[in-house]
Structure formats: structure tokens, C-alpha cells
Structure 1
Amino acid sequence: MENLFFFSGSITTFFIILLMSKRDKAVYDWLLISWFSIILFHIFVFYLSANNRFSFSLELSSAAVFLNGPVLWLYTRSLFEKRISWKEVVHFLPFVINLAIIAPYALQNTLAPFSDFTRTILAWAKLGSILIYCLWSIHMINKTLRFAEDNFSNIESQHLAWLKMALKSVLFLWFIGFFSQLAVITDLFTLDLTNEDLFINIAVSVLVIYMGYYGFRQAPVFLGGSLSTFAKQAGSEQEVMMEKYHHSSLDEALVKQYAKHLEELMAEKKPYIDPELNLSKLATELNLSNNQLSQVINQFYKKNFYEYINSYRIEAVKIRLANGDHKNTTLLGIALEAGFNSKATFNRFFKKYTGQTPSEYLKEQKT
């Protein structure tokens, strides 16, 4: 057990050092450093408790659980918004209040004399805090992704991929904490104070190792790089959010006419091969507003901008495969030249539109 805590603590320390070494750190980098520092403190206390070294640090670590949700939520917000208001400190009030209560016992280096009922209330409050902030963060991500799909042709972001994985990990920890608390209340297991949080301690250590492995696969989160364009633009929280179509001046005839112009442009100029293509660029080419072009794509083709552009890219890839271009270049190379910016997105869309993976499709073409 001690080895597990030592290993996960070492990995967490290494991530903090990597993040600290980044140049021109953004707000989200500092918030991620803060979150890993909180996790590192938890792991350190886990190590102490495994050796029966009870001290005030146990109480402080317990209070610090109130920090996890707000810090992770602020990290999510900072990916989409340039500034975080000082008013956000209100989210840290539960931690401050808990800290103020236990502070008198710090000099005595003892646990606060909370009753069993009070500790139970605090435990459920911490679980509630983590759940609320995680769900809030997930809602923010989904809202931004919906916006991105209406405005951008490529919406991948290593930060978001890592963040979604981290949020799922925290929710997994929440379920472990929830059932552990139920087990303590119902006396399902006989645990002394030393082992009361045994399962959650082990889970935190294992998931830190997993998040680290995943984080290295999403290297820009730790080693540099910037957010994708959509993450920055979508963060202005919808300065360019779509108006309702019933306020639009486009009738069905105009929608059909503009759809024809759009098809001609896509066939002649092939704007979809630009991986940075977005709704605004394409609308400018057609002398339309963003809202008008979005209405044409949504109503005439029953797709959002993201799906519409990538359907053209898939057709472009199919044409090149039919011409035998895959014999001279890689399949990924063909996909990138068609406008995709990741293998995962290409594979997903290819299967969606053809019902087959690229390799299955090629094999069928040969036969």
C-alpha cells in the first residue's frame, strides 16, 4: 500500500514539475497545477494514515476535499474564458468555513472533536460539492461542443479530451466515496478510523496514475501547445451564438437558392480541405451572415456545420481511394489532405457515412 501511494505521489509531483516548466503559462495551467497540488497533498496524507501517523493533516486533507470541485470547475471555465472573476472566490467558502472550525486544533495536532453526526453531514456535503461541480463542468463542455459543431469543421482539443477523461475519473471516485459512506453508515463493513477511507485512497492513487498515462498521450496539456481555435472563440460565451431561425428573413425558396450556391462553391473551390474552415469563413465566401448560412445547412441538409463539412471530406477521401491514391500515400495522409486534422475524427466519420472502417472499405473495394 505504501508503495502505491509513493508511486502515485511521485507521478503527481512529476506532472506538477512539467506544468511549472511550461513557458507562458495560461490561467488554466495554474489551475491544473493547483488541482494536482491538492491531489498530491491528499496522497501524502494517505501515506501518513497508512503508517498510523494521525495528525492534524488528516483533518486538513478532509477539508481540502471541498477544493477539488471548484478548482476543477474553474479549470474548465478557464479553457473557454479569458478571465476568471475575483467573485469566484465564493466557491471556496465551504473550505474556508471548514478550515476555520478545525483551526483551533492545529496547534494541538489532533483531530477535531466532531460528533459522528457532524462528520457524516460533512462527508455528504463534500460528496455533494464534487458531484455538483463535475456535472456543472460537463454541462459547460457539452454546451460549448454544441456551439462548436455549429461553427467549426474541426473541434478536437487535447485539453478537452483530457478534461473529459479527468471528470469521468472524478465521478468514478465520487461513486466509490458514495458507496463507502453508505457502507460506514450501515455498518456493512467494520472499519476503524485508520481504514475508513481505504477504498477511496486506493482509487485516488490508481486514477492519478491512469490520468498521468492518458495525459502524456494528450501531450499539449502538460508540455505546451494551445487550445484549438474553437475553444477560445466559443468561450466568449456565445458572442456569436445563433439567433432563432423564426426571426430570419430567409423563406424556403431562398434557403433552397442559397443551398444551390453553397453546393457550387463546395464543388468548385473545395473550401472543406482547409482544416481551419469555420462558419464565418464560408459565410463570407457566399456573402451571407453566419446565421443565414447556419439556417441553410440546418434546414436544407438537416445537419450542423461540423457534420456537413466532414461529409464532403469523406466523399473526397472515397474518390481518392477509388482512384488508387492509397497505393502511393497513407490513408491518414489522404484524410489530412481532405481537411481532417485527426485520425480519430476521420475514422469516426468514415464509419458513420459508409458503415465500415477505412480498412474494411478498402478491402471490399478490392474484392
Structure 2
Amino acid sequence: MPDTVPDDTHQQTQATGEIVLRHHLCWKRRDLDGVMAHYHPDIQYNDFFQNRVVGFAELREYLRASMPRDQAMRPTVSRLGLSPQQLSYLANDLQQYFQHQQPYLDPELDLQRVAKECGYSRNQISYLLNQVLGQSFYRYVNQARLQHLLATLDKATPPIRIDELAFAAGFNSLSAFYSCFRQHTGLSPKAYVKQISLRARAQDAP
């Protein structure tokens, strides 16, 4: 794999998550106009299960036929006490909590504490993460830790001790850190740090 940093780095993670959430909530509400707003009119979309290409002109009816019936998700959401609008509030509350309180810096952080400090139940937080955002609690936390570490790296000056920064960001396992880092950046921490050093030298060169 080439030693280059992908364009969609941690700065775009939050925006991507917000778009995915808006699309999910529109889908659950059967808001066809809201769902269509996320598709580009000049792009053809592939349904690999049916082995067909869907153009924008037929995309609306294709999506309408694919949408869940109103009853499909109602029991689950009702049991959790969350409407689609409340799910949106929950997502925002969780995001604000992580941004401002930075609980992920604690390597012992668990779901019970996050739920308590956000004012929701464990099941409600789990539903948002698993069913809406499509990730586990620990993956969500480790991504927040990684974003914190990458922001720190952008300001760091050599020598950079990446393992120390990982522990300072809340990772309690280097294996988990290395795995998360490579999945997110496509690079090993060593290769990423090398790129930072090369950029710094290029900027300092006359």
C-alpha cells in the first residue's frame, strides 16, 4: 500500500457520521425526498444483489420499493422510548459529550458511564451505535481516541513517541491502537510519523 495519507482523514469523520445519521433517520421515517437528497443525479448506482444498474431517473421508485414498512422498526424504537427525532438528539448529545468532556482519554471508560453522564440508558446508547451508526461502543471510543491522537500529531515536533501518545489518548492496548490506526489511515503509525517528518523538512527547506 502506498505511503500516502488518504484525503478523507479524521477531519471528515464527524461530517460523514452526520450524513449517515441523517440518511438513516430519513430512511426510517420513509422520507423519500430526504433520502433522495443524498444521491447525486449524475451518478449511476449498482445493486449487486440483483445485478442491475439503477439510473437516477428510476432511483426514486427503486428506493420507495426498498423502504421498510412503517411497522417494521416501530416496536424497537418504541421499546427504547426514542422517536427518530429523539435519536437525532441522542446522536448530537453523544457527540457533544465526547468533544467537550473527552471521556475517551480514560482507558477504563465503559458504556455504563457514558450512558449515565449523557442522561440516557445503556440500551439507548447501544441502539444508536449498533443500529444507526453501525459500530460497537469500543470502536466508537477508539475512533475518538485516534482522532485526538492525530490532532496531537499534527502539532507535534520530532522526536515523536507514538506509543506514548497512544496511551495518553486513552488506548490501553498497543495492538488495538495499531489496528485502529491502520484501518483509519491506511498506514502504520511509523509510516504516518515519517510523512509528518518529511512534510516538516519540506516546509523548513529554503
Name the TM tier (shorter chain): 0.5 to 0.7
Question: What's the counterpart of residue 93 of structure 2?
Answer: 261
Aligned with 2:152 (options 280, 299, 320): 320
- Alpha-carbon shift at residue 329 of structure 1 (Å): 5.3
Equivalents in 2 of 1:348, 1:271: separation in Å? 21
CA offsets 1:56-95 (integer angstroms, 9 cap, x no match): xxxxxxxxxxxxxxxxxxxxxxxxxxxxxxxxxxxxxxxx
> Does residue 357 of the first structure (1) align with residue 188 of the second (2)?
yes
2:176 maps to amino acid:
T
- Alpha-carbon shift at residue 251 of structure 1 (Å): 2.0
Equivalents in 1 of 2:173, 2:142: separation in Å? 12
> Does residue 308 of the first structure (1) align with residue 140 of the second (2)?
yes
Question: What's the counterpart of residue 27 of structure 1?
Answer: none
1:363 maps to amino acid:
K
Q: Is the 8 A contact 1:256 1:300 kept in 2?
A: no
Q: Is the 8 A contact 1:316 1:338 kept in 2?
A: yes
Equivalents in 2 of 1:273, 1:309: separation in Å? 9
Q: Which range is displaced more, 352-361 or 292-301?
A: 292-301
Aligned length: 123
- Alpha-carbon shift at residue 328 of structure 1 (Å): 5.3
With normalisation by structure 1, the TM-score equals 0.32
1:305 maps to amino acid:
F
| Structure 1 unaligned spans of 5+ | 1-243
Equivalents in 2 of 1:261, 1:301: separation in Å? 14
- Alpha-carbon shift at residue 253 of structure 1 (Å): 1.2
State the identity as a percent: 30
The residue matched to 1:321 in structure 2 has which SS? Answer: helix
- Alpha-carbon shift at residue 298 of structure 1 (Å): 1.9
- Alpha-carbon shift at residue 301 of structure 1 (Å): 1.9
Q: Which has the larger radius of gyration?
A: 1
Equivalents in 2 of 1:283, 1:245: separation in Å? 19
Higher helix share: 1
Equivalents in 1 of 2:83, 2:186: separation in Å? 35
Equivalents in 2 of 1:321, 1:258: separation in Å? 30
The residue matched to 1:277 in structure 2 has which SS? Answer: coil
Equivalents in 2 of 1:261, 1:310: separation in Å? 18
CA offsets 1:255-311 (integer angstroms, 9 cap, x no match): 111110111111111000000000000000011110011112223322110110000
2:147 maps to amino acid:
E
CA RMSD of the aligned region, Å? 1.7
Aligned with 2:175 (options 333, 344, 354): 344
Q: Is the 8 A contact 2:80 2:124 kept in 1?
A: yes
Equivalents in 2 of 1:245, 1:321: separation in Å? 42
Equivalent residue runs for 1:46-65 within 5 Å: none
Structure with the larger RCO, 1 or 2 (CA within 8 Å, 6+ apart): 2
Question: What's the counterpart of residue 297 of structure 1?
Answer: 129
Equivalent residue runs for 1:68-79 within 5 Å: none
Aligned with 1:331 (options 162, 172, 176): 162
Cα separation, partners in 2 of 1:349 and 1:337, compared to 1, 3 Å = same
Question: What's the counterpart of residue 23 of structure 2?
Answer: none
2:179 maps to amino acid:
R
With normalisation by structure 2, the TM-score equals 0.56
